[in-house]
Chain A
Amino acid sequence: MVSAGKSAWIPHAVLLLGLVLVLFPVYVAIVASSLPLRDILDAPMTLVPGPDLVTNYRDALVRGTAGTNSQPVAAMMLNSLVMALAIAIGKIAISLPSAYAVTFFRFPLRRLCFWVIFVTLMLPVEVRIIPTYKIAADLGLVDTYPGLVLPLIASATATLLFRQFFLTIPDELVEAAKIDGAGPGHFLIHMVIPLSRTNIAALFVILFIYGWNQYLWPLLVTNTPAMTTIVIGIRQMIGNGDAQTEWHLVMATALLALLPPIAVVLAMQRWFVKGLIEPEK
């Protein structure tokens, strides 16, 4: 080993500092979500968890706050879940076939199709929000799940990742399938999709997080409390950040908002790290 034995504590010290920086804001939020509101307003608040953890989460989940028109956080979480799942599944469902088409066939305008998709990489929804909103409004998609989801699944990242993987599938497999008389549809379902399992899992994690964490587009395209997602709802709960803010419920909601994506990352950590880093290699 290159590293000298006597200074071996330095990496641990630096990494522990990193852990504190990562966990401290989350820890303070956990403590705040277990306190009665008056203990938070009586600043500075304690760093010892209080007795109201269950009550606060139940209040947030079932009752919501005045800022959200009493829309319960449970309903917001359901909206977020529907949006995140639909974005992840929808994006995979439209980009896997299109990547298959541009990789395993040669047809007229194939290159053009590829570039049409590819160019969407360059423009995140943030730079075209107002015209996109107008189109969503014209199509009657405001305050609907398709309105939340469809504009966000128009992106090339997944298509490019699948294409990159498909290019590594050996020609011999395709030859063998052709000799066996298997058509392109059969090959897609029985060979390509099973081979892509790991890629699909990795992409699912990344897209689920992307979908769950969306902010600007849901802010625009949903107006009714019934369609609010949890990430948007929390802004309404904070209000002006003055004495009216029910901080104990805000912090409970913040933790409820970060729990599902963290659970997904932890459960699928290996696939996710692989999926995130490998396309760049």
Chain B
Amino acid sequence: MERRVVFPGWLFPALLLAPQLAVTFVFFFWPAGQAILQSAQRGDAFGLSTRFVGVENFTAVLADPFYLSSVEVTMVFSLAVAVLALGSGLLFAVMADQVVRGAAFYKTVLLLPYAVAPAIAGVLWLFLFNPSVGIVAAALRHAGVDWNYLLNGRQALLLVILAAAWKQVSYNFLFFLAGLQAIPKTLVEAAALDGAGAKRRFWRIVFPLLAPTSFFLLVVNIVYAFFDTFGIIHNVTQGGPARATQILVYKVWYDGVVGLDLGGSAAQSVILMTIVIGLTAIQFRFIERRVHYG
């Protein structure tokens, strides 16, 4: 889309653009280029010299069993977070769309986790489930569950999934509720007059109309689980126990900052960049379609 009527000149718009272009070049293109360059280099043990190694870092990363297990952890983690956060967001939105009394109150409270930092959400859930002080942990042990996420990898993964999904429900709830409220009531009422029950009305009319929203949210949730959950992992499990919760972005940070393997970390960054670009491209194709037909 373009404006028909515009102002003449090029100097003024160039000045207006300059700050953003400068920041973008210095803190975006330069580091992104460096990441690509570094991913093709390897430094010696003392960091004194680097040499060009081509795709060696990539083949090393892709052959590393720890990397492959991190890919698997990331898949399980992001899918579980997305399904849990989308499912409960949709459930709460459908319910909130039906109530009249108290609707504003429910909406306000369900909105709150959006404002909470992932890292802080992690701390709140850590405190509930900490084996020595957590009250949910105590209740679980009382119920006969051998709960200790510091030793049990599955429990650790479950805990970070719960904390990550808790924070994301708000966002999904808001979008689903807006989507539901955009559906013409007459459509649903016509189906009711034709004798369709509540379940049938939801799955045959409401859900298909929500499909574009759901798809958009799926991508947003996966991107969230991939990148924004670093604070949760770092606070709750530090990737452990035994790498059971080491998602890809955590491994990039760990290998680069703690392990000082700059080439390997950069190669992982480049792989992550490719994944994000793919996800963003999918999202934009979808938004474009929505602009055309919506």
Using CB atoms and an 8 Å cutoff, list the residues of chain A in contact with chain B. 2-4, 8, 10-12, 14-15, 18-19, 21-26, 28-29, 32, 40-41, 43-45, 47, 93-95, 97-98, 100-108, 110, 113, 116-117, 120-124, 126-132, 134-135, 139, 150-151, 153-154, 159, 166-167, 171, 174-175, 178, 183-185, 187, 209, 212-213, 215-216, 219-220, 231-232, 234-235, 238, 241-243, 247, 250-251, 254, 257-258, 261-262, 264-266, 269, 273, 276-277, 280-281
Contact = CB atoms under 8 A, between A and B. Distances in A.
B3 A104 contact: yes
A28 B135 contact: yes
B133 A247 contact: yes
B7 A277 contact: no
A184 B3 contact: no
B24 A117 contact: yes
Interface stretch (B46-54, B66-74, B105-113): B105-113
Contact of A234 (B3, B35, B123): B123
B128 A25 contact: yes
Interface stretch (B13-21, B57-65, B75-83): B13-21
Contacts of A178: 5, 7
A44 B24 contact: no
Contacts of A98: 16-17, 19-21
Interface in B79-100: 88, 91-92, 95-96, 98-99
B276 A113 contact: no
Interface string B1-41: 10111111110111011011101101111111111001000
A257 B235 CA distance: 14
A71 to B, nearest CB: 17
Contacts of B185: 2
Contact of B231 (A14, A107, A215): A215
Nearest to B191: A2
* In the complex, the 9 A-B pairs of residues with the closest C-beta atoms, listed nearest first: A213-B117, A131-B34, A215-B231, A101-B13, A107-B10, A44-B138, A131-B31, A97-B16, A11-B95
B207 interface: no
A153 B32 CA distance: 16
B151 to A, nearest CB: 13
B201 interface: yes
Nearest to B170: A22
B108 A116 contact: no
Contact of B109 (A10, A14, A22, A41): A22
29 contacts: A3-B198, A15-B95, A18-B88, A25-B124, A25-B127, A98-B19, A105-B6, A105-B7, A117-B24, A122-B273, A123-B28, A124-B223, A127-B249, A128-B35, A129-B253, A131-B34, A134-B31, A154-B24, A213-B119, A215-B117, A215-B118, A231-B117, A231-B120, A234-B235, A235-B119, A247-B127, A258-B115, A261-B117, A262-B112
A159 B7 contact: no
A102 to B, nearest CB: 7
B257 interface: yes
Given A215-B118, A251-B127, A187 B112 contact: no
Contact of A12 (B5, B102, B189): B102
A265 B112 contact: yes
B123 A19 contact: no
Nearest to A16: B106
Contact of A95 (B20, B127, B223): B20
A25 B135 CA distance: 10
Contacts of A187: 7
Contacts of A15: 92, 95-96, 99, 102, 106, 110
